């Protein structure tokens, strides 16, 4: 498929995991992709791998916690590709909960909200004029089932719930200007976020009706759909891509914490 032929795309936190899978998927369908990440080496590795496959990909260091960094990334995408058609908000931060809520740390709480929610706001704010100009603009944010139900991680969950709200309010604002805004609510996905903590995501697979955890490509496929013209009459939507866990959640929290 070439649903994104001629598109300019910016993906945040694309150095690994879901972000890298999204970048690969959109590029495979014809997009020119700015692979951004706060980790310069990771962004470069992803972009180099894409170029080896014949795709057009450029790496760029972007910290969504800094307005100047976000503005620079958006400007670089427009300068490089001549346009910006799709923004994928994928960056997040998540610290473990304190044993007692009253022992939560202000700094850690603020960082989770700043990267996961305010970071998406910064990116959308910078990108929106260019998405309007494209005539086919779309924003897709990678959210979480944590923003829909209780799966632990207070700050991260609050941020992802806020991202759901931002998706809906921004959809209402941007729709008349020709820009669609949607969110993919992801369940457990096999990414370094698990393995770097010494955890095996397969420990929770039996809690999912489909009896497996997600792969980054599962989320990338949903992002590609929502970003494409196949979803031309969809905006303000929250699409759970979660193996059915939000339909039947039983006992997940105690195992996953």
pLDDT at 120: 98
H or E, element range at 88: strand 86-89
Give the active site residue among 7, 92, 156, 208.
Answer: 156
Known active-site residue 208: no
Are 88 and 223 in contact by the 8 Å Cβ rule? The answer is yes
pLDDT at 253: 52
pLDDT at 248: 87
CB contact burial 58-91 (16+ within 10 A = b; e otherwise): bbbbbbbbeeebbbbbbebbbeebebbbbbbbbb
pLDDT at 257: 47
pLDDT at 221: 98
Q: For the whole model, what pTM was predicted?
A: 0.95
For residue 103, with 0-12 CB atoms within 10 Å meaning exposed, 13-18 middle and 19 or more buried, which class applies?
exposed
pLDDT averaged over 10-residue windows placed end to end, the chain, 257 residues: 95 98 98 98 98 98 98 98 98 94 95 98 98 98 96 95 98 98 97 81 91 97 98 98 87 53
Are 238 and 12 in contact by the 8 Å Cβ rule? The answer is no
Can you name the residues that pair with 141 across neighbouring β-strands?
89, 183
Q: Which CATH architecture has domain 8-256?
A: 3-Layer(aba) Sandwich (3.40)
Tokens of 47: 């972009």
């Amino acid at each position: 498929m070439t649903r994104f032929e001629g598109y300019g795309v910016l993906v945040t936190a694309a150095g690994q995991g879901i972000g890298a899978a999204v970048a690969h998927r959109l590029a495979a369908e014809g997009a020119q992709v700015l692979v951004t990440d706060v980790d310069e080496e990771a962004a470069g590795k992803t972009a180099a791998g894409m170029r080896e496959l014949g795709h057009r990909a450029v790496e760029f260091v972007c910290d969504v916690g800094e307005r100047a960094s976000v503005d620079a990334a958006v400007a670089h995408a427009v300068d490089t590709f001549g346009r910006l058609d799709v923004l994928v908000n994928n960056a997040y931060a998540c610290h473990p909960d304190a044993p007692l809520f009253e022992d939560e740390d202000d700094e850690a709480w603020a960082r989770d909200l700043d990267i996961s929610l305010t970071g998406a706001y910064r990116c959308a704010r910078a990108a929106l004029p260019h998405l309007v100009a494209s005539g086919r603009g779309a924003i897709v944010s990678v959210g979480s089932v944590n923003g829909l139900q209780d799966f632990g991680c207070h700050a991260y969950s609050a941020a992802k719930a806020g991202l759901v709200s931002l998706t809906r309010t921004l959809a209402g604002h941007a729709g008349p200007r020709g820009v669609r805004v949607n969110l993919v609510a992801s369940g457990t996905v096999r990414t370094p976020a698990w393995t770097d903590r010494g955890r095996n995501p397969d420990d929770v697979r039996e809690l999912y009706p489909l009896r497996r955890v997600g792969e980054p490509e599962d989320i990338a496929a949903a992002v590609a759909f929502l970003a494409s013209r196949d979803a031309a009459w969809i905006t303000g939507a929250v699409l759970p891509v979660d193996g059915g866990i939000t339909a039947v959640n039983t006992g997940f929290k105690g195992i996953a914490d």
